[in-house]
Copies of this chain bind each other. A is one copy, B any other.
Amino acid sequence: MEQDEFSLIRLLTAGRESEEELRTRGVVTGIGDDAAVAALSPGMQLVATCDTMTEGVHFLPVTMRDEDIGFKAMASNISDIAAMGARPRYALIALSVPPGADVEQIRRIYDGLYECAALYGVAVIGGDTTATRSGIVLTVTVLGEVAAGGALLRSGAKPGDAVFVTGPLGGSAAGLAWLLRRGVNAAQWGTLPSAEAELVRAHTRPLPQVAAGELLQRTGLCHALNDISDGLASEAGEIAEASGVGLLIAEELLPQAEGLAACAEELAADPLEWVLYGGEDYQLLGTAQEADMGALREAFAQGGLSLHVIGRVTDADGGVRLQRPDGTVQPLPKRGYNHFAAN
């Protein structure tokens, strides 16, 4: 790669978002100076998050195309903003690539990053492109805004609350299992049967629930909110811990991704495992007063959004538990994907 760093960044970022688009989105000074300058709306507070995806740890070249790596890195950060009930506005991209990487590969990663950003009206305002010893390392920072004092935290769940999710679970894990066991070449994804293609898509192109998060924030009815990046069980544990409550989840109420059962059967896998521990579904998990669920359902239906009650908040003694279809109740340990764990 004998590309001048400045001209490389220009090559990757120029013309992606027009000057007018950037201005409309609040950008005062974009890429090209020492730092970017951008506006927040009056009365809003800043919301900020960053996440890193590293090759060989968060993804493998056999399961993710370059474009998908970019798309998913942007999506996972936008999801964290959505989980605060906030609106994503700006992004900064730090991409480190190994010596063997060519400009076309880097450009494809940027294609995915910008595709996801555009989908959510996010302006890319800065970044850094560097060399690394081996393996792609991609860190995305997303900045958003929320009405002052109105961010939706994990810590507000109250006993008696209903527990809800904004969409089907397990799809991302099923898609990953499919990709890993079948060793599908990335280029063939377009030819998959539609149900399996959707599961693969749930893994490679997750869609953060920004509209649902903003709606929950606006209604003022949501007590606690998390996005499901590490699996339902893990995120339920986060809410329980932060709020000092327990959560009782009903297995029968858990919405499964379409085609999940068939895929599990084909791969001799347990779909419930995917639903509870798979993670990376990027749906929102929240709680609200039982009496407010009717109003929430209506607001969601009007917005064309889905909402599924999956259980209720109990006192802390219960911990996080799962009610099986036969009525028995068992603990639901917080066990999601953790790349620092020994296993």
**Hey, which bits of chain A sit against chain B, CB under 8 A?**
1-5, 8, 28-29, 32-40, 45-52, 54-58, 79-81, 83-84, 86, 90, 92-94, 96, 125-135, 137, 139, 141, 143-144, 146, 148-149, 151, 153-155, 225-227, 242, 338-342
Contact B50 A40 (CB under 8 A): no
Q: What are 18 A-B pairs at a CB distance below 8 A?
A: A3-B340, A33-B84, A34-B154, A34-B227, A35-B47, A36-B49, A37-B46, A37-B84, A39-B148, A40-B45, A46-B46, A48-B92, A50-B93, A50-B126, A54-B131, A54-B137, A55-B133, A143-B143
Q: Is the CB of B38 within 8 A of A45?
A: yes
Query: Which single member of B58, B93, B132 contacts A135 (CB below 8 Å)?
Result: B132
Bound CA–CA A17/B79 (angstroms): 27
User: How distant is the Cα of A90 from the Cα of B48 in the complex, in angstroms?
Assistant: 9
- The minimal Cβ–Cβ distance linking A324 to chain B, given in whole angstroms, is 28
Tell whether A50 pairs with B127 under 8 Å between CB atoms, given A28-B151, A34-B226, A37-B84. yes
Contacts of A225 in B (CB 8 A): 34
Contact of A52 among B54, B80, B128 (CB under 8 A): B128
> A153–B48 contact, CB under 8 A?
no
Contact check: which of B50, B56, B79 meets A94 at CB < 8 Å?
B50
CA distance A128 to B51 in the complex (A): 6
User: Which residues on B sit within 8 Å (CB–CB) of A129?
Assistant: 340
C-alpha gap A90/B32 in the complex (Å): 21
Nearest first, the 8 closest Cβ-Cβ pairs linking A and B are A35-B49, A34-B83, A133-B135, A94-B139, A139-B139, A34-B80, A141-B141, A50-B92
